[in-house]
Structure 1
Amino acid sequence: MAAVGVRLRKLRMVSAIICVLGLILSFYAYYVEMEKEHNKNYKALCDISDHMSCSTVFTSKYGRGFGLLSYIVGSDSQLNIPNSLFGIVFYILQMALGQSTNPFLTKVEISSAFVSNLGSLYLAYILYFILHDFCVLCVSTYVVNALLLACACYKLGKLQAVRLKQEKKEE
Structure 2
Amino acid sequence: MNRVHPVKGQEGAGKGTLDSDAHDVAHAAAPTLALRIAFLVLCTLGTLLSADLLRLHVRVHTDSNYHALCAISETIDCESVAFSRYAVVAGLPVALWGLIGYLVMGGLCIWGLNRVRGASVWPFGILFLLSLSASLVSALLFSISAKLIHSLCILCIATSVVNFSLLALTIAELKRLKIGPISALREEARQLPGRRGSVSLFVVSAVVLVAVLKLTIPPYWHTEITEGPGGVLTGRNSEGAYWIGARKPVIEIAEFSDYQCPYCFRGHLQARKLVYEHPDSIRLVHLHFPLRQHPEAFQYSKMAYCAGEQGKFWEGNDFLFTNGRRPEPVTPQEFSSALGIVPAELTACLERETTRTAISEDMALGNSLNIQGTPTFVIDGNLYPGSIPKSVLSPLMPNGSLPHK
The question of 1:136 aligning with 2:154 is answered: yes
Q: Which residue of 2 aligns with 1:110?
A: 128
Contact 1:23 1:91 in 2 (8 A): yes
Q: Which residue of 2 aligns with 1:63?
A: 87
Report the Cα offset of residue 153 of structure 1: 1.4
- Matched residues in 1 for 2:124 and 2:58: separation? 34
- Matched residues in 1 for 2:95 and 2:109: separation? 20
The question of 1:9 aligning with 2:33 is answered: yes
Q: What amino acid does structure 1 have at the position aligned with 2:38? A: V
The question of 1:25 aligning with 2:49 is answered: yes
Report the Cα offset of residue 59 of structure 1: 1.6
Q: What amino acid does structure 2 have at the position aligned with 1:46? A: C
CA RMSD after TM alignment: 1.5
List per-residue Cα deviations over 1:29-62 (Å, max 9, x = no partner): 0001111111122111211122211121012100
Q: How does 1:18-97 map to 2 (within 5 A)?
A: 18-65=42-89, 69=90, 80-97=91-108
Report the Cα offset of residue 104 of structure 1: 4.7
The number of residue pairs the alignment matches comes to 148
Report the Cα offset of residue 12 of structure 1: 1.2
- Matched residues in 2 for 1:147 and 1:33: separation? 25
From 144, 149, 160, give the equivalent of 2:178.
160
Q: What amino acid does structure 2 have at the position aligned with 1:50? A: E
Q: What amino acid does structure 2 have at the position aligned with 1:17? A: V
Provide runs of 4+ in structure 1 moved above 3 Å. Answer: none
TM-score between both structures, scaled by the size of structure 2: 0.35
Unaligned runs of 5+ in 2: 1-23, 180-405
Q: Which residue of 1 aligns with 2:322?
A: none
Report the Cα offset of residue 117 of structure 1: 1.0
My pick for the range that moved more, 26-35 or 7-16, is 7-16
- Matched residues in 2 for 1:96 and 1:4: separation? 23
Contact 1:52 1:133 in 2 (8 A): yes
List per-residue Cα deviations over 1:93-148 (Å, max 9, x = no partner): 11122231542521111001111111111101101111111210111111100000
SS in 2 for 1:49: coil
Report the Cα offset of residue 155 of structure 1: 1.4
Q: Which residue of 2 aligns with 1:77?
A: none
Q: What amino acid does structure 2 have at the position aligned with 1:142? A: S
- Matched residues in 1 for 2:29 and 2:67: separation? 47
From 140, 151, 159, give the equivalent of 2:169.
151
Q: Which residue of 2 aligns with 1:164?
A: none
Q: Which residue of 2 aligns with 1:76?
A: none
Q: Which residue of 1 aligns with 2:276?
A: none
Q: What amino acid does structure 2 have at the position aligned with 1:113? A: S
Q: What amino acid does structure 1 have at the position aligned with 2:125? A: K
Contact 1:25 1:137 in 2 (8 A): yes
Name whichever structure is richer in strand by fraction: 2
The question of 1:123 aligning with 2:141 is answered: yes
- Matched residues in 2 for 1:134 and 1:122: separation? 13
Q: What amino acid does structure 1 have at the position aligned with 2:143? A: Y
Report the Cα offset of residue 8 of structure 1: 1.0
Contact 2:46 2:162 in 1 (8 A): yes
Unaligned runs of 5+ in 1: 70-79, 162-171
SS in 2 for 1:14: helix
Contact 1:98 1:152 in 2 (8 A): no
Percent of aligned pairs with the same amino acid: 28
Name whichever structure is richer in helix by fraction: 1
- Matched residues in 2 for 1:46 and 1:25: separation? 13
